[in-house]
Amino acid sequence: MSDTALRHRLAERGVDRQLLLLVPGLACVLALFVYPFAYGIGLSFQPASGGVLGAYRAFFTDAYQRDTIATTLGLALPAAILNVAASVPIAYLMRGRFRGKRFLTTILVVPITLGTVLTAEGLLNYLGPTGWFNRALMSIGVIDEPVRLTNNYWGVFFSLVITGFPFAFLLILSYLSGIDPTLERAAATLGAGRWQRFSRITLPLLAPGLATTFCLTFVLAFSVFPSAVLVGDPAGSTRVVSIAAYHAAYEAYDYPLGSAIAVIMGVVELVVVAVVLGLRSLFYTGSTGGKG
């Protein structure tokens, strides 16, 4: 009797046998994410020397290591900003229906499928010292010697834009189609011109979506690794955090330092994301009246 009553009370709070469906997923998350993550954090506090915070102290006292944070931010922030900023006008113009929209969207989204290595190879062939780009510029006499656009900051930057833009574009396009188009029409009947309709109505409604998109593309760009090696200058101007972690763990076999760098990397990302989401909460984040 009381057993049945207890079961009913629990079921009202959502506790019943259906919860067992969560078990496989939960097991995977625990075994494949939570445990390794906690293990890595634990490892970062057990360096061979220097006490509990030794690995962190080693990272922050060594300018060569410490500067990787600034280097990575210097790549990831401008790339994420450019990806979001370039996606907005393109997605805005592509809101409506027109002939060839699907083709154009496909072209813009294809880079997602390429992967960093293929993109890097393409960049080396196209933007490299003997690539088409430089040869074309030299043959028309704009420049006398090749412009260096690979194996430095710019190579990695272009790679981040090429792989990050499609993500940003797709996300923003879907956020835009979630905004009811009659809102701009209403603004037009109230005397708002093209720019005012965009800046007063669409942009404020889009802003939370822009913040989310920025966070995602930023995190993608911040963990850059292959392109920093392949089209960058991994020993110098594009020595990013992930390279530092890789060197520590797999070349110096200092797992605690490698783990500490990975944790620092995560914390920097979290700080940036927290700042952006904090700004996002200043905007209206409710329904935008569209199809969602």
109 vs 277, beta carbon nearer another protein: 277
Stretch that binds another protein, among 46-54, 61-69, 74-82, 281-289 (CB under 8 A): 281-289
Q: How far is the CB of 281 from another protein (least distance, A)?
A: 13
Our finding on whether 109 is near another protein (CB under 8 A) is no
Q: How far is CA 188 from CA 88, 116, 222, 240, in A?
A: 21, 44, 41, 48
Please identify which residue in 44, 71, 116, 288 interacts with another protein, judged by CB under 8 A: 288
124 vs 201, beta carbon nearer another protein: 201
Provide the β-strand partners of residue 275.
Answer: none
Structure tokens at 7: 């079961």
Our finding on whether 199 is near another protein (CB under 8 A) is no
Stretch that binds another protein, among 100-108, 185-193, 238-246, 255-263 (CB under 8 A): 185-193
Stretch that binds another protein, among 21-29, 127-135, 138-146, 181-189 (CB under 8 A): 181-189
Nearest CA among 104, 92, 154 for reference residue 126: 154
Nearest CA among 208, 211, 192 for reference residue 200: 192
Q: Count of residues binding another protein (CB under 8 A)? A: 23
Nearest CA among 113, 61, 62 for reference residue 239: 62
Our finding on whether 204 is near another protein (CB under 8 A) is yes
- Residue 252 DSSP SS3: coil
> Which residue in this structure is represented by tokens 């709070």?
13
Please identify which residue in 14, 25, 100, 191 interacts with another protein, judged by CB under 8 A: 191
Measure the CA–CA gap between 109 and 164, rounded to whole angstroms.
10
Please identify which residue in 46, 125, 182, 199 interacts with another protein, judged by CB under 8 A: 182
119 vs 288, beta carbon nearer another protein: 288
Residues 6+ away with beta carbon under 8 Å from 21 = none
Our finding on whether 100 is near another protein (CB under 8 A) is no
DSSP assignment of 120-171 = HHHHHHHHSTTSHHHHHHHHTTS-SS----SSSHHHHHHHHHHHHHHHHHHH
Nearest CA among 66, 73, 70 for reference residue 244: 66
Stretch that binds another protein, among 44-52, 146-154, 200-208, 220-228 (CB under 8 A): 200-208
Our finding on whether 280 is near another protein (CB under 8 A) is no
Q: How far is the CB of 21 from another protein (least distance, A)?
A: 34
Our finding on whether 95 is near another protein (CB under 8 A) is no
Please identify which residue in 82, 183, 219, 276 interacts with another protein, judged by CB under 8 A: 183
Main-chain phi, psi angles of 289, to 5 degrees: 75, -10
Chain residues in the site for another protein (CB under 8 A): 180, 182-183, 185-193, 196, 200-201, 204-205, 283-284, 286-289
